[in-house]
Structure 1
Amino acid sequence: MDKRNRPALAYLLIGVTAAGRALLAVPEAVALQEVSLTVLAVVGYILLAGKGKLPLLLGVGQLILELLLCGAGQGGSWLWLEPALRAADLWMFWGTALLMLRHTGQNYKVMPAVAAVPLAVYSVAHFMPTMVSVASVCFVAFSVVMLWYAAMMLRAYNTARVK
């Protein structure tokens, strides 16, 4: 790959991040891994910053939320906010996926709509202790759909690399 091909590198980093986050497939006890993967995505968003700032802002927001979640997992003062922080983080991830698919010019209508359904159910069920199993299934479903997003970003990487 040509090292000066910044869009291709950005799409590769973002695609690898999406695949890594999707393969975590559990919302709890993975905050540190999410932080590492989100740093890769933020680097990709920085490489594309000349073409749009919103993905970068959402990526930085995700990074901040994930750092807070690292502290919440230790029983800090953020513990009671953990479900809301987790839901906000995932919605920001979904938002960046929508923006990046629009940016790459790919068909971006189906995947975000399909991903929004399990994410919405997860966001509600995550707050209810009796609905833990529903929340877990919805999180896994969301993760599987995000593998679709990862594949689309890797396709965008290949297209940018070949140009």
Structure 2
Amino acid sequence: MDKRNKTALAYLLIGVAAAGRCLLAVPENAALQEISLTVLALVGYLLLASRDKRPVLLGGAGLVLELLLCGGQTGGVWVWLSPALRALDLWLFWAAALLLLRLADCTSRRVPYIAAVPLAVYTVTHFIPALATVAAVAFVAFSVLMLWFAAVMIKSYNAARVKK
């Protein structure tokens, strides 16, 4: 790969980070892994910052939330806020994906909106202990749908690499 092709490198980093993020088995107890994947994606967002700065803001906010979640495992008020912060972090990931699909000129935009449905189900049900199974299934469905986003980013990497 041509190291001067920042767009191709950005899409590759974002795609790898998204794939890793989607392959995390559960959203809870994965804060350290999420931090490293978000930093990887944030580097990609920074490489694309000349085209759109909003993914950088979303990635930065996601990183702050993940740092809070990682540090909040010791107890206190963070334990109570953890479910809300976790849901917000996933919505930031989803919003960044929407923006990046536009940057990558992706023609099919239905999948991210379809992915919002299980994310919304997860957001509501993971607050209710009796619906933990529903929340887990919704999270897995969201992750599977977002693997499509990772594949689009890898495809965009290849297109940007060849275009140069």
For structure 1, the 5+ residue unaligned runs are none
Q: Which residue identity does 2:161 align to in structure 1?
A: R
Does residue 105 in structure 1 map to residue 105 in structure 2? yes
TM-score, structure 1 as length reference:
0.98
- Determine helix, strand or coil for the equivalent of 1:19: helix
How far is the alpha carbon of 1:129 from its aligned partner?
A: 1.1
Q: Which residue identity does 2:68 align to in structure 1?
A: L
Distance 1:157 1:26 in 2: 28
Q: How does 1:1-163 map to 2 (within 5 A)?
A: 1-163=1-163
How far is the alpha carbon of 1:98 from its aligned partner?
A: 0.4
Q: Which residue identity does 1:157 align to in structure 2?
A: Y
Distance 2:149 2:59 in 1: 16
Identical residues among aligned pairs (%) = 66
Structure 1 runs, 4 residues or longer, greater than 4 Å off: none
Distance 1:74 1:15 in 2: 32
TM-score, structure 2 as length reference:
0.97
Q: What whole-Å deviation, never above 9, does each CA across 1:55-87 have from its counterpart, x for those lacking one? A: 000000000000011022222431100010000
How far is the alpha carbon of 1:154 from its aligned partner?
A: 0.3
Distance 1:144 1:125 in 2: 18
Distance 2:38 2:155 in 1: 20
**Please, what is the CA RMSD of the aligned residues?**
0.8
Cα contact 1:35–1:66 (8 A) shared by 2? yes
Cα contact 1:46–1:56 (8 A) shared by 2? yes
Distance 1:32 1:124 in 2: 24
Cα contact 1:25–1:143 (8 A) shared by 2? no
Q: Which residue identity does 2:160 align to in structure 1?
A: A
How far is the alpha carbon of 1:108 from its aligned partner?
A: 4.4
